[in-house]
A and B are shown apart, each in its own frame.
Chain A
Amino acid sequence: MAELHFELVTPTRLVRSEDVYMVVVPGTEGEAGILVGHAPLMTALKDEPLQVWRNEGGAPELIRITGGFAEVSLTGLTVLAEHVID
């Protein structure tokens, strides 16, 4: 199955650029699970962790971000975050 192209960008660097199964983003209007082929969407994010599912059924990896903004286009998901807390 095709995979979702996921990019996580901060002002200082490109943190992630990889193909994953699904990313759950904490939108201000509620969480949204983004799979490949999701309709174009732009949403501001709450300061909560992103859940990155590398493959179906595995455990999600959590990435804590603040000041996030998610953009889904035909090319994939881009998350613009002001800070990524390691």
Chain B
Amino acid sequence: MASLKELKGRINSVKSTQKITKAKQMVAASKLRKAQANAEAARPYATRLAAVMGSLASKVTVSESSPKLLAGTGRDAVHLLVVANSDKGLCGGFNSNIVKAARLKARSLEAEGRKVLFYLIGKKGRAVIRREFPGQILAGFDTSTVREAGYAEAEQIARELLDLYAAGKFDIAHLFYSRFRNSLIQEPTEQQIIPVPVLNAPAPKVAAIETAGAAIEYEPDEEEVLAALLPRYLNTQLFGALLENSASEQGASMTAMDNATRNAGDLIQRLTIQYNRSRQAAITTELIEIIAGAEAL
């Protein structure tokens, strides 16, 4: 049986752990609100752009001369998995779920004889992927230098991806991130980003631009407008993923920390009962000793 002093020490250490988890939970709750507001603010642009892309895509046919970003390289030998993780832990299964989804995809692609490379965003998940797929990490992007990954970061990532694409390092890119449903549910999601899958994308729900039969005039012409919009569409997709990810991270963190705080509470209660019992036992023993001593006189 642990001594009273040991028990006291354990209770105190669990108490300070609980303080940390509680603090982290509250921080996550307030950051979640902010992340959700950010995601909300990004929506008008994304829906508008999707509507424009949708109406353009129906007018342009993919051919040899189409931009590579739309038509692809004509091969699908090398797949790049862009895995977006967070920089910090203490958020439950958030990062490992994303990594797991990416790992499954990588394994199934490898089984089909494709080459798989990784592009990692964020600090977490690096170690796992490096261990499981040694030498297959093409590049990465560090988001830990900024407080919040924003549009500037999305642009930078997109630029790097486009450079790699132009250099012929990969043929198809998939993006892995966590879609935010609510603070309890975050779904690891996979999405093809390069070549841009506009043509087979489901028609955007926002009623495409109303023209009431009038023909839309394009300047310079459909294809050039589309070519100009493609990189921007990629930026928006990455930006959307980063936003979803940060909301998911905070949501997962909040839930995980809530559980941890509650577990710590249970543990403290159990230890306290044990502590009280031991103390009582010690007092009883001492009393018996005193009484026995007094009787012996």
Contacts and interface: CB of A to CB of B under 8 A. Distances in A.
Interface of A: 9-14, 27-29, 39-44, 67, 69, 71, 73-75, 78, 80, 82
Contact of B218 (A10, A42, A75): A42
Contacts of B52: 42, 69, 71, 80
B244 to A, nearest CB: 14
Contacts of B150: 12
Interface in B193-235: 209-212, 214-220, 224-225, 228-229, 232, 235
A37 to B, nearest CB: 11
B217 A80 contact: no
28 contacts: A9-B44, A11-B42, A11-B45, A11-B151, A11-B236, A11-B239, A12-B41, A14-B41, A28-B219, A29-B220, A40-B214, A40-B215, A40-B217, A41-B216, A42-B216, A42-B217, A42-B218, A42-B225, A44-B224, A44-B225, A44-B228, A44-B229, A67-B232, A69-B52, A73-B210, A73-B216, A75-B210, A80-B52
A43 B155 CA distance: 22
Interface in B1-56: 38, 41-42, 44-46, 48-49, 52, 56
B251 to A, nearest CB: 21
Contacts of B214: 39-40, 74
Given A11-B236, A44-B228, A28 B217 contact: no
A41 B236 contact: no
Nearest to B51: A71
Given A11-B46, A80-B49, 20 more contacts: A9-B48, A11-B151, A11-B236, A12-B38, A14-B41, A27-B219, A28-B219, A39-B214, A39-B217, A40-B209, A40-B216, A42-B52, A42-B56, A43-B225, A44-B220, A44-B228, A44-B229, A69-B52, A73-B209, A73-B216
B21 to A, nearest CB: 32
B67 to A, nearest CB: 14
Contacts of A44: 219-220, 224-225, 228-229
A41 B219 contact: yes
Interface string B56-68: 1000000000000
A28 B211 CA distance: 23
Contacts of B46: 11
Contacts of A29: 219-220
Contacts of A73: 209-211, 216
A67 B45 CA distance: 13
Given A11-B236, A80-B45, A41 B151 contact: no
Given A13-B41, A29-B220, A41-B219, A80 B48 contact: yes
A43 B218 contact: yes
Nearest to B217: A41
Contacts of B212: 74
Contacts of B225: 42-44, 69
A18 to B, nearest CB: 14
Contacts of A80: 45, 48-49, 52, 232
